[in-house]
Amino acid sequence: DQQVKQNSPSLSVQEGRISILNCDYTNSMFDYFLWYKKYPAEGPTFLISISSIKDKNEDGRFTVFLNKSAKHLSLHIVPSQPGDSAVYFCAASEGRGSTLGRLYFGRGTQLTVWP
């Protein structure tokens, strides 16, 4: 009953290349999506988000794409750097500002960027 799925537990990319992390969701009520980044022995930190009224949001080297019809989103990192090596969690909610206060997280993808 995982409502947010990250089917690739790991991804290895060479420095300078593009990293593409994927996320699928099943709940059609989700309308706000976020990516978090987590280093070992630290808490997750917010990276980038996208509302369902958009299909793309960009912040520097990070771009998130949303395909609502496919219930799919992806995070692109260009160019990838060794410091990007971390676990990336996809998360979704039923509305930004909702007092339901609930984010649903995927299992995470371990990204390794090698020199």
Partner 1 sequence: NAGVTQTPKFRILKIGQSMTLQCAQDMNHNYMYWYRQDPGMGLKLIYYSVGAGITDKGEVPNGYNVSRSTTEDFPLRLELAAPSQTSVYFCASVGAANTGELFFGEGSRLTVL
- Which CB, 21 or 34, lies closer to partner 1? 34
Other CB atoms closer than 10 Å to residue 111's CB: what's the count?
22
* Residues in 54-83 at the binding interface with partner 1, rule: CB under 8 A: none
Please report whether residue 53 would count as binding partner 1 according to CB under 8 A: no
Q: Tell whether residue 103 is a contact of partner 1 (CB under 8 A).
A: yes
E-strand ranges in 18-108 read 19-25, 32-38, 45-51, 56-59, 62-67, 72-77, 86-93, 104-105
> Rule CB under 8 A: which residues touch partner 1?
2, 4, 6, 9, 32, 34, 36, 41-46, 49, 89, 91, 93, 96-99, 101-108
